[in-house]
Amino acid sequence: MKILIVEDEPKAGEYLRQGLAEASFTVELVANGRDGLHAAMETEHDLLILDVMLPGMDGWEVIRSLRRQGNEVPVLFLTAKDQVEDRIKGLELGADDYLVKPFSFAELLARVRTILRRGKTGTEATSICVADLELDLLRRRVTRAGKRIDLTSKEFGLLELLMRRQGEVLPRSLIASQVWDMNFDSDTNVIEVAIRRLRVKIDDAFHPKLLQTVRGMGYVLEKPTSSP
């Protein structure tokens, strides 16, 4: 599997290159948009990891140009800003997924594997469903059984993470780093509080209950296989 990384920050690029090489990928690393575009058009890659903020030609221009030339290589873009507009823009331009910096390497690897598993079928669904709960990534809207649910941006981020990784038990430490950009500190109950609020909104008035606490391990969102 061949991955092209376009990242102008040498340390970050090298870190990704090394990690992905250790995970047995063939990796090519370039440091600016123009070289990235050239490399992507020159050789076929299974995945392009594209930083948005690049000198000269930015990540948006690279993906736009690739798609215009009919290149459908899956793209995971890296954005430093946790901006709704950025995510929407990236997905609309045909990116397959995005990661907000800083992220853990484990998270990146998980996303990479998911995209590669999905293959080159092209457009990613813009909404995720678990039972009758639906999260619309483009409109940033959540509904359950057709009823609109209002969430804060942190709650949305938390739910998005749980839905993307549905069926997986997510430890608090992972949730903390992904949704709050913080290292997990067992003294804080910010995650418990957010989970409780989220549960009230998405589960209390509905059946079956989707958000489960796995004692001592974390949280999982899934449709129960059978409810006795």
In terms of CB distance, is 35 or 51 closer to Ca ion? 51
Q: How many residues bind Ca ion, per CB under 5 A? A: 3
Q: CA angle, 213 as apex, 210 and 217 as ends, to 5°?
A: 135
Are 35 and 43 within 8 A, CB to CB? Answer: no
**Strand runs (DSSP E) across the chain, as ranges?**
2-6, 26-30, 47-51, 75-79, 97-100, 127-130, 133-136, 141-144, 147-149, 211-214, 218-221
In terms of CB distance, is 54 or 161 closer to Ca ion? 54
In terms of CB distance, is 64 or 141 closer to Ca ion? 64
Residue 96 in contact with Ca ion, rule: CB under 5 A:
no
User: CB nearest Ca ion: which residue?
Assistant: 53
Q: What is the 3-state secondary structure (H, E, C) of 116-137?
A: HHHCCCCCCCCEEEECCEEEEC
Stretch that binds Ca ion, among 2-10, 115-123, 127-135, 158-166 (CB under 5 A): 2-10
Q: Which distant-in-sequence residues (6+ apart) come within 8 Å of 78 by Cβ? A: 7, 49, 50, 51, 52, 59, 98, 99, 101, 103
Residue 160 in contact with Ca ion, rule: CB under 5 A:
no
- Specify which residues 141 forms β-bridges with: 136
Q: Which of 28, 35, 51, 86 binds Ca ion (CB under 5 A)?
A: 51
Are 6 and 48 within 8 A, CB to CB? Answer: yes
Could you give the string, one character per residue 3-42, with x where binding to Ca ion holds by CB under 5 A and - elsewhere?
-----x----------------------------------
Residue 53 in contact with Ca ion, rule: CB under 5 A:
yes
- Specify which residues 28 forms β-bridges with: 4
Could you give the string, one character per residue 124-143, with x where binding to Ca ion holds by CB under 5 A and - elsewhere?
--------------------
Tokens found for residue 187: 């003294």
Residue 203 in contact with Ca ion, rule: CB under 5 A:
no
Report the nearest approach of Ca ion to the CB of residue 8 (Å).
5
In terms of CB distance, is 27 or 50 closer to Ca ion? 50
- Which residues of this protein are in contact with Ca ion, per CB under 5 A? 8, 51, 53
